[in-house]
Chains A and B, each alone.
Chain A
Amino acid sequence: GAGVSQTPSNKVTEKGKYVELRCDPISGHTALYWYRQSLGQGPEFLIYFQGTGAADDSGLPNDRFFAVRPEGSVSTLKIQRTERGDSAVYLCASSLRPGQSYNEQFFGPGTRLTVL
């Protein structure tokens, strides 16, 4: 595709429910990143994939958060037992080469998650 796409654009759920957020990176980009952005804050790093494997998941806040990228392309961020504090915009980004911080990350528009 022309850019990084994320679905859904908005997700409203109830406390305790399970949600999945999807990211389609730019075709051919091997590196994929998930971030969380709260209102008035900068993006907070969650996890980084190099191909199919999670190269760095140090930003995941707790074990309710999990992400997969089974075929090295599309990624899904999964949140179990959602809490109100999980409400934020979840951004996905991809870049051409893995493990190189010089490579520009291209961001998707984000998924706005609201936990009631």
Chain B
Amino acid sequence: KNQVEQSPQSLIILEGKNCTLQCNYTVSPFSNLRWYKQDTGRGPVSLTIMTFSENTKSNGRYTATLDADTKQSSLHITASQLSDSASYICVVSLASGGSYIPTFGRGTSLIVHP
């Protein structure tokens, strides 16, 4: 069964600190991997997307990495801000007959304290 596992489930850090969120997946055949940020009460918003040939992608203070061989991805947040408090969801897409079949992780809940 295609699965996406994220860790940690939740994380609390102080403002200004860095953190790294992990994503392991078993989805195959792999198409691409996205990291989304979901604020409370809002829909998810895409931060980065990577295909199997890409191993790093940055978006401001967010840097995602991908190791397609080990099926692992990470999202690194630099110099965290209070507005980074949200759920971060890893989404892996399956390449299957042209249909878009995404598998979502449960998300990591990040709380940034002042």
> Which A residues lie at the B interface, using CB under 8 A?
4, 31, 33, 35, 40-45, 48, 55-56, 58, 91, 93, 99-102, 104-110
Q: How many A-B residue pairs have CB under 8 A?
A: 65
Are A102 and B49 neighbours in the complex by a CB distance under 8 Å? yes
- Which 10 pairs, one residue from A and one from B, show the smallest C-beta to C-beta distance? A107-B43, A42-B104, A101-B93, A101-B100, A99-B98, A56-B99, A101-B31, A104-B46, A42-B106, A43-B104
Are A40 and B104 neighbours in the complex by a CB distance under 8 Å? no
Subset of 14 A-B contacts with CB under 8 Å: A4-B43, A41-B107, A42-B89, A45-B103, A48-B99, A56-B101, A101-B31, A101-B93, A101-B102, A104-B46, A107-B43, A107-B44, A108-B43, A109-B41
A101-B31, A110-B43 known; A42-B105 Cβ under 8 A: yes
A55-B99, A56-B100 known; A93-B43 Cβ under 8 A: yes
- B1 on interface, CB distance cutoff 8 Å: no
Q: Which residue of A lies closest to B39 (CB)?
A: A109
Are A44 and B104 neighbours in the complex by a CB distance under 8 Å? yes
**Chain A residues, CB < 8 A from B105:** 42
Measured between alpha carbons, how far is A100 from B98 in the docked complex, in Å? 7
Q: Which residue of B lies closest to A3 (CB)?
A: B43
A40-B106, A42-B105, A43-B104 known; A99-B99 Cβ under 8 A: yes
B9 to chain A, nearest CB (A): 8
Are B49 and A104 neighbours in the complex by a CB distance under 8 Å? yes
Q: Which residue of A lies closest to B92 (CB)?
A: A101
- B63 on interface, CB distance cutoff 8 Å: no
